[in-house]
Amino acid sequence: MNPPDRHPRSSGQRLFFALWPAAMLQSRIFNYAQSLKISSARFVPVDNLHMTLLFLGQVEAGQQHCLEQALNSLRLPGFELYFGQAVFRRRQRLLWLEPTSRPDALLRLVAALRQIASDCGLKTESRPFRAHISLFHKLAQAPSDLPAPEFIWPVQGFVLAASKTLPAGARYRIVKKWSLTG
């Protein structure tokens, strides 16, 4: 696979790879977030709920084509994620759901995405992957009694998504989907 021409022809898009829950699971997660009755923070809209696997940044059309071509032949298994804890990250002022474990299949998927991004000429973050679904941003402190969520997510695919920053917050759009095998 050859990296695309590095001379930009357009401004590209801000892209990232993510696990995107089905609408029913998104609704269950959103209902859990609403049940916390947090009004002092910015909540993540229901249709934005996802788990980022790898942020790519600005991606030119040639790089995106390279990514899509490489991913069309990727064969990795599906897996399940069990969410049993809500975590408050004081420094980042975030409240998120974190799975109780990170299956090997999830870590192999993230490693494969990093390699493909590199092969397509993209530089990505080097920090370790932290599996989570953000619920609230700009939260000063966690609620005193944080009930444990209970969600099982049978992951059967992943997406390439675009991010657009608006005054009211980021909006995400799925660009393309790929299935994971049984």
Catalytic residues: 50, 132
Contact 97, 21 (CB under 8 A): no
How far is it, in rounded angstroms, from Cα 162 to Cα 165? 10
Query: Token pair for residue 110?
Result: 């993230």
- Within its chain, how far is the Cα of 168 from the centroid? 20
Tokens 């660009």, residue located: 175
Tokens 């917050």, residue located: 169
Q: Which residues contact 33 (CB under 8 A, 6 or more apart)?
A: 43, 44, 135, 136
How far is it, in rounded angstroms, from Cα 17 to Cα 7? 23
Contact 72, 160 (CB under 8 A): no
